[in-house]
Amino acid sequence: MKNKICMVLLLFFFFTVISYSSQEQNQIIKLSLLDKDIKEQLMIFAACREEWIIKDYDPFLCGYTVYDLDEDGMLELISHVTAGTALIAKNTFYHADTESGEINVLKQVYNENFFMLNLEGKLEFYQDTESGKKYYLSSYKGKSGIEYICADGFFYLEDGYVYNETIRSYFLYARGKDNDEYHYYDENGNEISESKWEEKYTNFFKNKEGLKSGTSWMWMYYEDAMAATEMEILFKLYDIYVQGCSD
């Protein structure tokens, strides 16, 4: 079954080359130089684009990235949207199944006090020097009137799941220069002192070394994403994957 899917994808890939401009043909040639498994996964993602393109948050701008986050040979495609003043954020992770030619949504696990991370830029990668586990650090920032919510957190991949955890958070009531009110919380939502809050962040980095950032994002509105052809999406996925690998 896998060989049949590979053959169909490769035949499609070959016969579409001659129908594109010289610039597009050059990009197809570059794509053909990728590792076979990586190329196949990118092609499956492009073919299944309607399943991961975010449609429920139109007209907000949505972000997409693709990278092998845990270096197991399987690419993770992440879709992200931050709506309004960032009070709503959503991240979804996908794998491409090279056996079926379909994509699967990765199940996510959250701690009770987790804030959905705003994955809007390059993720910060850290590796535990003892366990070898890789962590991806990011943050959450939201605003409602005079209330500001900020949190630092991370996610990691293990056994096909995405685990999300909060490191610390704070609430700010911005009543004016001399009347701002801060409340600091630990990963479980318990209020703590500012010094303990600072300590939480410092402790995260113990026994961890920074790795190069390996993600690059493409940003599209729903209408533009749906108007793009399969090959256009494939080219975009190729670009952000190669850019991530080169950063």
Give residue 34's pLDDT. 84
Pairing assessment for the beta strands 161-173 and 181-185 based on DSSP bridges: antiparallel
> How confident is the prediction along the chain (247 residues), in pLDDT tens digits per residue?
555 555 555 555 555 555 556 666 677 767 777 889 999 999 999 999 999 999 988 888 999 999 999 889 999 999 999 876 656 788 999 999 999 999 999 999 998 777 778 886 667 899 999 999 999 998 888 888 888 888 999 999 999 999 999 999 999 999 887 889 999 999 999 999 999 999 999 999 999 999 876 688 999 999 999 999 999 999 999 999 998 887 6
Give residue 187's pLDDT. 92
Pairing assessment for the beta strands 88-97 and 102-105 based on DSSP bridges: antiparallel
Give residue 33's pLDDT. 76
CA distance 137 to 72: 19
Give residue 66's pLDDT. 95
Give residue 63's pLDDT. 93
Give residue 22's pLDDT. 63
- Residue 183 is classified by DSSP as E
Domain ranges across the chain = 2-246
CA distance 165 to 227: 36
Q: What's at 30, amino acid-wise?
A: K
Give residue 1's pLDDT. 59
**Burial of 225 from C-beta contacts in 10 A (0-12 / 13-18 / 19+):** buried
